[in-house]
Amino acid sequence: MKLFRRSICTFVFLFSGVQMYLYSQSPNNVVDEVVWVVGDEAILRSDVEAARLDFGANIKGNPYCVIPEQLAIQKLFLHQAQLDSIETESSEVMAEVDARLNELTMRAGSKEKLEEYYRKPMTQIREMMFETVEEQSTVQKVRANLTKDIKVTPAEVRRFFKDLPADSLPWIPAQYEVQIITQQPRIPQEEIDRVKEELRNYTERVNSGETSFSTLAIMYSEDPGSARYGGEMDYMGRTELDPAFANVAFSLTDPTKVSKVVESEFGYHIIQLIDKRGDKVKVRHILRKPKLAQTDIDSTMVRMDSIAEDIRKNKYTIDEAALYLSDDKNSRSNHGLMTNVKYDPSLGEIRTSRFQLQELPAEVAKVVSTMNTGEVSEPFMMVNAKGKEVCAVVKLKTHIKAHRASMSEDFQVLKEVVVSKLQSEKINQWIREKQKSTYVRINEDWRNCEFEYPGWIK
């Protein structure tokens, strides 16, 4: 049983009748209690309390009924994951953990304040969050696997909404279609040479034994995702990495050596091999980014201002300007139209040109929110997906105001509503069937509940 995920003093495990307790060194001091058992997995009182503290305000109903039931449902999914050999890549988990920690740190105001809130050092917060995210991701994959065969036709969607009153149709928030042109200010060769020389100096310091690669990465790397771990990245396949970076990383054979300086879309790197496993490689790296001079930014902004003015005067269209003048590889071959890529567990990857305001890059959203349809913006600075500062001009192609969904304008949204309903029905039926074949024991004091799924108590 995974009973002891949290360190809680020296304890002995006792089983007596309908209750299990974890004791500290003093036998009269109960510090935790196993309140549910699902299969061979236990749910602790401390698990429930932790969830109540984190989500209490958002829980409808008695938290001591709702929370353990939700934890029990999660354990049903995790057991199914074992049966189906469903696993989650640790690189996926780490990326999500980093994103969540960054957001939490921003909300708390600092790393120290976040540690104070959790009463744990960042390493323990990360470990706790890694396990949580890993389980959540695994559960999502199991749900997706259970509902992967659910499909609906346009006729089925029409039938579903045919007799619904208008005010029962989904409310569609305001959406925007945006065309964009970006240009990266030219970085002087002197600045590029400076960064390369800096990286060569790091290599010399590692090779001479003056310091370790990891120490230098913590101190100087500009990759926030790996710097805190001494530049260490998880096992990665070739296609998961920038092509230039991958070519060098996969060519390394000696973990004591440091690579030559390599340029990627993110900047300049030196790389050190840690391990190879099949078609994946584990490396650590140091990233340095050349700095833009204000004069280079100013000259690019002037050039972009001229492009925007020419579009307004109809000397050429933004479609043409995007194709021939934009640095943005993702949009220039699509008439400059930005693409919103989403992933739905049942529908797979969904690509659309429509964005809600909060889905746009922050700098773009700020500009677009003040524009009228057809208007071309003044040039502005933004950070692109590669973390580089670029100058941009946007045109608001379409502004679709918030409205009730219609079959003609919002078929995809309505389709997702129908699919989601069928998925929920399938999952609910699966949970009820799984309850019948799973050993469940609930402590007497935790049974007086109106559960969503009554089959827990047999």
Q: Is residue 167 part of a domain?
A: no
Residue 20's pLDDT band, with cuts at 50, 70 and 90, is: very low
Last residue of a domain, one of 236, 267, 288: 288
What DSSP element (H or E) covers 272? strand 267-277
Are 326 and 372 in a shared domain?
yes
Are 182 and 311 in a shared domain?
yes
Q: Is residue 228 part of a domain?
A: yes
Residue 333 has pLDDT above 60, yes or no: yes
Last residue of a domain, one of 240, 265, 288: 288
SS3 state at 222: coil
- Scanning the structure block, which residue is given the tokens 């797979």? 348
Domain of 357, CATH number, reads 3.10.50.40
Residue 104 · residue 150 · CB < 8 Å: no
For 74-78, 102-106, 118-122, 293-297, which range has the lowest pLDDT when averaged over its residues? 102-106
* Mean of all residue pLDDT scores within the chain: 86
Are 181 and 202 in a shared domain?
no
Residue 266: domain span: 189-288
Are 241 and 297 in a shared domain?
no
Are 179 and 308 in a shared domain?
yes
Are 180 and 314 in a shared domain?
yes
Count up the domains in the chain and report the number: 2
Residue 56's pLDDT band, with cuts at 50, 70 and 90, is: low
3-class SS letters over 289-324: CCCCCHHHHHHHHHHHHHHHHHHHCCCCCHHHHHHH
Are 208 and 230 in a shared domain?
yes
Residue 313 has pLDDT above 50, yes or no: yes
Are 396 and 259 in a shared domain?
no
pLDDT tens digit sequence for 317-327: 999 999 999 99
Per-residue pLDDT at 343: 65
Last residue of a domain, one of 382, 401, 420: 401
Nearest C-alpha neighbor of 224 from the set 260, 277, 184, 267: 267
Are 180 and 207 in a shared domain?
no
Nearest C-alpha neighbor of 374 from the set 393, 397, 358, 356: 397
Residue 22 has pLDDT above 70, yes or no: no
Torsion angle defined by CA atoms of residues 296, 302, 305 and 310, in that order, rounded to the nearest 10 degrees: -120
What mean pLDDT is predicted for residues 256-277?
94
Q: Is residue 72 part of a domain?
A: no
Are 219 and 259 in a shared domain?
yes
Rounded to whole angstroms, what are the CA distances from 385 to 39, 266, 328, 329, 382?
44, 9, 10, 11, 10
What mean pLDDT is predicted for residues 115-141?
85
pLDDT tens digit sequence for 383-437: 887 778 899 999 999 999 999 988 888 888 899 889 989 999 999 999 999 999 9
SS3 state at 331: coil
Question: Higher confidence at residue 348 or residue 379?
Answer: 379
Q: Is residue 85 part of a domain?
A: no
What is the C-alpha to C-alpha distance for residues 136 and 74, in angstroms, rounded to an integer?
8
Residue-by-residue DSSP string for 6-61: S--SS--EEEETTEEEEE-SSTT-EEEEEEEEETTEEEEHHHHHHHHHHHGGG--S
Per-residue pLDDT at 30: 45
Q: Is residue 58 part of a domain?
A: no
Q: Is residue 283 part of a domain?
A: yes
Residue-by-residue DSSP string for 411-433: HHHHHHHHHHHHHHHHHHHHHHH
Residue 263 has pLDDT above 70, yes or no: yes
Q: Is residue 169 part of a domain?
A: no
Q: Is residue 9 part of a domain?
A: no
Are 276 and 261 in a shared domain?
yes
Are 208 and 246 in a shared domain?
yes
Angle value at C-alpha 318, between 316 and 324, nearest 5 degrees: 80
What mean pLDDT is predicted for residues 151-165?
89
What is the C-alpha to C-alpha distance for residues 165 and 185, in angstroms, rounded to an integer?
54
The residues pairing with 398 across neighbouring beta strands, listed in sequence order, are 177
